[in-house]
Amino acid sequence: MKLDTDNWQLLQDLFHLAEVTPEPDRERVLAQKCADEELCHRALRILNASYVQGAEETPVQESVLASDLTGKIGPYTLIRHLGTGGIGTVYLVERMVGGALQRSALKVLAPHSAGPSFIDRFHREQHILASLDHPNITRMLDAGLTERGQPYLVMEYVDGVHLDAYCDARKLGITERLQLFLRVCDAVAYAHRNLVVHLDLKPSNILVTADGTVKLLDFGTSKLIQADSLLTTTVMATPAYASPEQLRNEPITTSCDIYSLGAILFESLAGARPASKASVAAMIERAIREQEPERLQDAVTGAAAEQRALSESRLKQMLTGDLATIAQKCLRPRPKDRYPSIDALSGDIQRYLGGRPVLARPQTTLYRLGKFVRRNRGVLAATLLVAIALLASLGYAAWRQQQALREGQRALRMQNFMYRLFKLANSNYTGKPAATVPEFLELGVKTLPEYIKDPADLRAAQISLAESMYTNGDLESAQKVFTQTMANAKAAGDVEGETESKAYAGCIAFKLGQIEQGKSLTADALRLSRMPGVSPAVQVRSAICYAYYRDSLWHFTGEDLALLRFAAQMARESNLPPHEKAEAIYYLATDLEVRTQVNEAEPLYYEALRIYSEDPLVLCEESAVYGDLAYLSDVRGEAQESLPIYQRSLDGYKACSGADSRDAISVSAFMSGALIELGRAKEAVPLLEGALPAWRRAQGSGQSIEELPMYLSQAYVEVGRFKEAEAICEQMTASEEGKFDPNSRHVGAMNLVWARALAGQHRYKEALPHAEIAARILTDTAVPAEIPYNNKAREVLLEIQSKLRETGQ
């Protein structure tokens, strides 16, 4: 057409001009630009034509469906169309079985998806498919060919919605989504154990019924259509969820399903599939190029956050870190880099849900560094930050290390060591990769001398690692290292190093119940800390280790309190990192609290909290402060108000040190105390019983938590389980033999519970001596915080005495 050839560019210009001009002005504006009236009209015609949309559905499709719906396929009567997927169309069907109508789902496969031996193969595979008997897997019932020769499969019918639709409709949060996902993992793991891979896992193959049951569809389909399909695995799988090796048409393994589960997890958490904006061609290219998946948090959108009842920034924050690592580990392009099994994947998700470290190994040393820092906060963080000395303001020992590592050369050597350490920790250097923090630190101590030759630097680094072990609760290992650095520092005339090692070793000895050793070590440290040149940090540490642990033995002296006041004040005035300042103030506050000087303690707790808030890695420490604040409000008689504060402390501890940690157990015990006081012993029992197994395990460690059995026996008494209460009192007496002063309040309180447990069983005669002991001790040692106990002890004693009189015993 001559018109277009000559005026091609002009025609386009007119078109685009018309596009941006409001409709009524178009003709006028175009006429100004071009005198050729016909050309202007043509541009406007093209513009109108460009708005023409395609029809929604072509009539051809409708007629095909309509004709099928009236018919039968084999012995099955079609009821309605359920859906259409990549390789087939699914119908709801029914047939008579033993006089009853049975409903099932029938899937007609695309003709090119299976060859003539399809039915033979079904019969051959049937025993395997029939053996897939799992509550979360739909069963394959039958197979056949339609009159037109198309293969079809019949499956158990499930009335449910797709996994993603289910989660979004209910605005499920991350935890609930992970729990549903774990059930999917269970089902797939079960199939893998039976040597069946799925190969087309995706949200639309996972249904959730109204009662929340997960059902996986299409297990076994891949097995049936694989062998003589005209298609390769590339086309059969749904590209968005297919593993790269499937897209590359390479041999398939169970690892394909792990990849698909990763894609499902990714979408379930972030709301979009990995590489969701790519076309199929681009996805295949990614597969061939072995490109890494995008980061989980980068896929988050505002809409997705809303469907999870979270803000966008909160969702992004939640999807950074462990969850991102878990998803990434499933989605690695090479099968060998993924989780070796679904159980390993489930295990990591369970560890995440339980607040424990996941085992998936992030890819880079720096990433791993960051992860350790986040996970281990405080002191450990400081050690690691030695490696990146520029960020020293963050943590505890970093401040001191800065002094030790003034020269860039030394800092570099240290940095080199840390990098090597992360590499070693990831390798099989010691037979297996270091999976836990203690293993990691142990490895560090072992390999340090190979990297750091200067004895002073070596000592400083060793002390740092030992401090990390101490904070991490690995007291025995820390003790070994401190004993060594103590001797080395002394031989080298390094007073600072010797003092610090001794102070820590003393703290540890106290904590391990080696009281005499603790006393002598801390006395040495305190004396040495007064020598010239010892840094404020070490002076503070020495004072705390001396005074706080002496007071922990319930021998309160004015000297100890004065030392703790001195430590707090020195910490405030010196240029210590926030974490260490707050810690010194916290120790003073707890000491005041146990001396019942509650009014002075409380503002100090708030001061500590304020200083902690300057440091991002102090969840554990903050949880400790909240625990104390809750306890204070509890003993003030505000048990109701104390519950949410206890809860905050407990949640914090669970997140930072784990549900099984000593701290979490202690807070559970105290919180139960508040519940018992409020007459809610029924709620306290499961809380205490839940912590009991972890408590038993902790018993062997030399760090007992006597509060837990104490409160448990009390809770049992309150709910009328007297026999169990009695059993605990007996066990406690046996296991605590010689550990407590027979006149201590602990012994008094226990005898009180014991008396009540026996009286509850009408064994008043046996109860009497326990009630007498309780009343005597608790009255003699009365402190304001414990007054409820004293009154109770008297009440119980009087009651038992009157019962004995009544029964004439």
Give catalytic residues, as residue numbers.
200
Pick between residue 60 and residue 734 the one whose CB is nearest to other proteins: 60
**φ, ψ at 680 (rounded to 5°):** -110, 45
Taking CA 547 as the corner, what is the angle to CA 541 and CA 552, rounded to the nearest 5 degrees? 115
Distance CA 299, CA 296 (A): 6
Q: How far is the CB of 605 from other proteins (least distance, A)?
A: 56
Number of residues engaging other proteins in binding (CB under 8 A): 49
User: Does the footprint of other proteins cover residue 87 (CB under 8 A)?
Assistant: yes
What is the DSSP code (8-state) at residue 96?
Answer: E
**φ, ψ at 265 (rounded to 5°):** -60, -45
Task: Check if the beta carbon of residue 322 is closer than 8 Å to that of residue 345.
Answer: no
Pick between residue 232 and residue 403 the one whose CB is nearest to other proteins: 232
Residue 688's CB: how many other CB atoms inside 10 A?
29
User: Does the footprint of other proteins cover residue 49 (CB under 8 A)?
Assistant: yes
Distance CA 289, CA 249 (A): 14
User: Does the footprint of other proteins cover residue 42 (CB under 8 A)?
Assistant: yes
Secondary structure (DSSP) of 758-794? HHHTT-HHHHHHHHHHHHHHHHHT--GGGHHHHHHHH
Stretch that binds other proteins, among 1-9, 70-78, 253-261, 736-744 (CB under 8 A): 1-9
Distance CA 660, CA 85 (A): 47
Scanning 290-436, the segments in alpha helix (DSSP H) are: 302-307, 312-318, 322-330, 342-353, 365-385, 396-404, 408-426
Stretch that binds other proteins, among 49-57, 171-179, 332-340, 777-785 (CB under 8 A): 49-57
Pick between residue 234 and residue 447 the one whose CB is nearest to other proteins: 234
What letter represents residue 407's amino acid?
Answer: E
Among 35, 55, 100, 210, binds other proteins (CB under 8 A): 55
Among 4, 290, 407, 573, binds other proteins (CB under 8 A): 4
Pick between residue 111 and residue 173 the one whose CB is nearest to other proteins: 111
Site for other proteins in 266-285 (CB under 8 A): 277-282, 284-285
What is the DSSP code (8-state) at residue 137?
Answer: B
Cα→Cα distances 777→711, 741, 752, Å? 18, 11, 10
**φ, ψ at 760 (rounded to 5°):** -60, -25
Tokens matching residue 91 = 């119908």
Pick between residue 105 and residue 208 the one whose CB is nearest to other proteins: 105
User: For the chain, give me the number of helices (H) and strands (E)?
Assistant: 37, 9
Find, among 720, 694, 790, the residue nearest to 709 by Cα. 694
Q: How far is the CB of 51 from other proteins (least distance, A)?
A: 8
User: Does the footprint of other proteins cover residue 235 (CB under 8 A)?
Assistant: yes
Site for other proteins in 93-152 (CB under 8 A): 110-112, 148
User: Does the footprint of other proteins cover residue 20 (CB under 8 A)?
Assistant: no
Distance CA 784, CA 651 (A): 29
Distance CA 325, CA 377 (A): 19
Stretch that binds other proteins, among 86-94, 188-196, 710-718, 726-734 (CB under 8 A): 86-94
Q: Reduce the DSSP state of residue 81 to 3 states and report it.
A: strand
Q: How far is the CB of 336 from other proteins (least distance, A)?
A: 20
Residue 292 forms beta bridges with which residues?
Answer: none
User: Does the footprint of other proteins cover residue 364 (CB under 8 A)?
Assistant: no
User: Does the footprint of other proteins cover residue 84 (CB under 8 A)?
Assistant: yes
Site for other proteins in 295-354 (CB under 8 A): none
User: Does the footprint of other proteins cover residue 725 (CB under 8 A)?
Assistant: no
Pick between residue 35 and residue 281 the one whose CB is nearest to other proteins: 281
User: Does the footprint of other proteins cover residue 53 (CB under 8 A)?
Assistant: yes
Pick between residue 48 and residue 599 the one whose CB is nearest to other proteins: 48
Stretch that binds other proteins, among 42-50, 205-213, 574-582, 604-612 (CB under 8 A): 42-50
Pick between residue 4 and residue 559 the one whose CB is nearest to other proteins: 4
Interacting residues with other proteins (CB under 8 A):
1, 4-5, 8, 12, 15-16, 19, 42, 45-55, 58, 60-61, 64, 84, 87-89, 110-112, 148, 230-232, 234-235, 248-249, 277-282, 284-285, 288-289
